[in-house]
Structure 1
Amino acid sequence: MLELRSAAALKVSIQWGHLAPSGAPPNELDAESWICDQIYWMFYGSSTLSPVNAYGTYTQLGYVVYVLQYCQSPNNNVDWATVWWGDFLATGGNPPPFGHLGFYGEQGQNIFDRDIYKYANYYWWPPPNSWWQPIPSKQYFVFIWTCANGGLYWYDSSGNWYNIAGITYPASSPFYPPPTNTNTKYGFFDNPYSYPPSAVGMPLAWTGTAGMSINGYNSPDYGSYCYIGWEAVSPYMVNPTGYDSLQYKWFPYYFYRYALGLDNGPTHHTMKQSLDYATSKILGPRYTFGNSKLYNGYWVQVTGDGMTGWWYCRMRVFGNGNIVLP
């Protein structure tokens, strides 16, 4: 049973993720499980956050709802939460360009942005009260290593969008200069009149905040939230980085070691500093996050899943890149 401990004031770190049912390279499951274990133990010894590793079987809608509502409940005194997540799923169709964005769950119990928004930003009081109480999200730092769940896909709050080759649909081949993304929104409400409203886009869903900086690395805002995710395609954990025979699983490994003060500590470092450190470790010492392909983008070819073609991919940071993990 997935359990969270009680305390006078509780801070929670959750590692979620579930391998896609097909298409993953050999050893990806082991790599994803390994990094979740590593992150768990880093938090266990170096943070006031109480860690829970929910990778695999526990990554399903019911458990996600349970954890989010635990964090939201006024009875549980949770004042800070953070999330790591891997593996992507989209509904397709409406709302464009990808439908509702989400994650694979155990035995088809998948999780979508509309679910996250409802349970991360409201608390359901059971009968006899039977009402949704709006409570600001406790998910102050969210790192989502999946395809598409960290992109700019719309240009207004109504969900209108610019259709851009390599970003909202696959290009037939790479081209240079690469595409400029003129979309400026990471989420919107496709049914703002329901209660709670239905949200599209994971950054909006997790934080409940539509106005975060869209460049939290170079132009961080002064808010309480930071969200890191991928626009277009994210690399598998086992993909090579091209430097020193390293795989991409080492990026989150070094990111969290630096963020939690295990490397160059014991002081905890900001999200911006941790991005720089992890980038230098997996791409080489001459790189920071800001001068790397992770920030500036690069072409990736995809086959299958209706996404065949070339995508221009980058990691985006929304909100306040200067926050520090407790």
Structure 2
Amino acid sequence: MAINFEFSKQNSSHFGKVIGTPNKFLIGRETVYQGNSGLFNVTISPGLSYKPEDYEAEFGFWAYFITPTAMCESQGSFFCLNTYDRAKFTFSFMQYAAHVPNGDFVIFLRKLLGLDLAREYFPRLQLKEGKIHYLNTNGTLSSLEPAPGAEENTALMKYLNPSLDEIEFQELITAARFVHWAMNDPAHRKLQVEVAISLFKNNMAGYARQYNLDGVLDEICLVICDIRHQGRARSSHIISALNTNGNTQKALQNLLELGRVHYPERIKTLKTKLQELKANGHLGTKKYHLATKDFVNL
């Protein structure tokens, strides 16, 4: 049976409540960004934010490797939400963005639709041949993913958030479903982590080939992954930063300067988390091994 919500608003905050239950929850707060209207939610709640030690037993070193980026993106909030920028819908502790075909959000949503509660939260979304489809009232399926070569997930974005002109009812519904599901289902939160680590592992193998990172210190690899995840510098800039004749600390300093002018707070958070991980012995002790696509001890 589908989970249905009723909504309320207090000042600029939108709340949802499952019909027939007493407790309301914050969906998001209204904001305006570059003329766009939308919602954001960066709430940090006890037990509902990413802690690497919670996942160390299953994922080992990788649970810590993704931590600085998670803190930069959302402070670890498993229901971080953004519906006001060009992606139209961004969600999860890693802020997966809906506009990129076959991108992180699409990968995440495909897997999300395989969870036990998927039909309760998104009864009209189905997978057909591995792609996301919408079940129409006449029983037919419409693809929400574009044909190969498309630049954006136009249909999926429209389903999640019809426009950036105002906060529509459809936008509120889809946001409520994502936030409430993440708040109330450990499987949803675990999937966020599984997808994040899988993406970082796959990306790291590609970056190792692209930037010659085989045998390179974990700190440097982590900063490169964060740069590419946010997209704050071009590959040519990364290559230039690494060109230090083997001076590891200089390379690290160079990488941490990329994007500082426009993203000083992110760089500050990144450096703080790097230092914390080093102090706790979770970083600075490994190097990347391309043959096994994993990190090994120095």
TM-score by length of 2: 0.26
TM-score by length of 1: 0.24
Tell which structure's C-alpha radius of gyration is larger.
2
Give 1 or 2: higher helix fraction: 2
